[in-house]
Amino acid sequence: MKKLLLSTLVLTVLFVACKKDPAPPTLKVFGSMKTDPNGQYQYLNLLGYNAINKPNGFSVSEIEAGKLFSIYGEAKYENERLTQLDTGVATTGTSVKYMYKYDNNDSSKVVKVIFFTIVPVRYDSLVYDNDNRLRAIYCRNQTYGLEYPFGIYKKDTLIWDANGNITKTYSFSVLNGKEGKDTIITSYTYDDRKSFLGTPKELFLLNYERGISYLSANNVLTQSTRYVANDSVITTTNVYTYDRENDPATVKVNKRFTKAGTELHNETTDFTINYERLIIVEEE
């Protein structure tokens, strides 16, 4: 009987000793989307993550109107909030450096984006609704008009649906406090999968002037931008394949430009989407 108890005790100790600790929880986040490097190489790439699981920065390479240009940025944080982005734009033969600064409110929402070259040259005020969704952006630049030294020259408004997606944006020019007729209207449709550009949440601010749809809950299927003044439309159509976790793995992007109903440009590009897994540090 003693031998039997001893054997049972030994087996129990061995079982406990061999039992592995569970793997730490992880968060799947966007890493990059890239085309075939053997062709016209285009990409959106995050520059890794820091100790607090925030992106260090980003780089973008795109082709617009037949010209390749690149954008890069290095992010800075204070108290786990994005507060500054040192960035630049490079095209063939030219390079411009500038900086964004972000003002946060008590709820960690960015309420002001300030643009610097050597001195502040422009700032945007961001307005949210009671559900903390971005509803409007008022863009101000240096002017000698009624609101010297910074006057509103553009207003963007955002329309949301019940699924947490931006379905339409309106961009109005503003002169001396009055909205102009030069309106830009962008409409969006979506799939029913979680947006691959929604995590990390800082991605919208890193690509601030080009990534408004990153705020949406799902992935953009179509984006149609109509320029009322010159009767032109840019339509982007995305076709995805998905991985086992229902996240986009590849996307075929078609861009089509028409003016007065006549097609002037049509191009399709294939991208591969890559992710990273960050270990979630649980607070004690």
Residue labelled with tokens 């968060």? 27
- Which residues partner with 267 through β-bridges? 255
Q: Distance between CA 197 and CA 173 in Å, rounded? A: 28
pLDDT tens digits, residue range 155-214?
999 999 999 999 999 999 887 777 777 789 999 999 999 999 998 989 999 988 888 999
For the cut 90, the answer to whether the pLDDT of residue 85 exceeds it is: yes
- The 3-class SS string of the chain reads CHHHHHHHHHHHHHHHHHCCCCCCCEEEEEEEEECCCCCCCCEEEECCECCCCCECEEEEEEEECCEEEEEEEEEEEECCEEEEEEEEEEECCEEEEEEEEEEECCCCCEEEEEEECCCEEEEEEEEECCCCCEEEEEEEEECCCCCCCEEEEEEEEEEECCCCCEEEEEEEEEECCEECCCCEEEEEEEEEEECCCCCCCCHHHHCCCCCHHHHCCEEEEEEEEEECCCCEEEEEEEEEEECCCCCEEEEEEEEEEEECCEEEEEEEEEEEEEEEEEECCCCC
In which band, very low, low, confident or very high, does the pLDDT at 10 lie, cut at 50, 70 and 90? very low
In which band, very low, low, confident or very high, does the pLDDT at 229 lie, cut at 50, 70 and 90? confident
In which band, very low, low, confident or very high, does the pLDDT at 11 lie, cut at 50, 70 and 90? very low
In which band, very low, low, confident or very high, does the pLDDT at 146 lie, cut at 50, 70 and 90? low
Predicted TM-score (pTM) of the model is 0.85
pLDDT, position 40: 60
In which band, very low, low, confident or very high, does the pLDDT at 121 lie, cut at 50, 70 and 90? confident
Mean pLDDT of the 50-66 span? 85
Q: Which amino acid is at 223?
A: Q
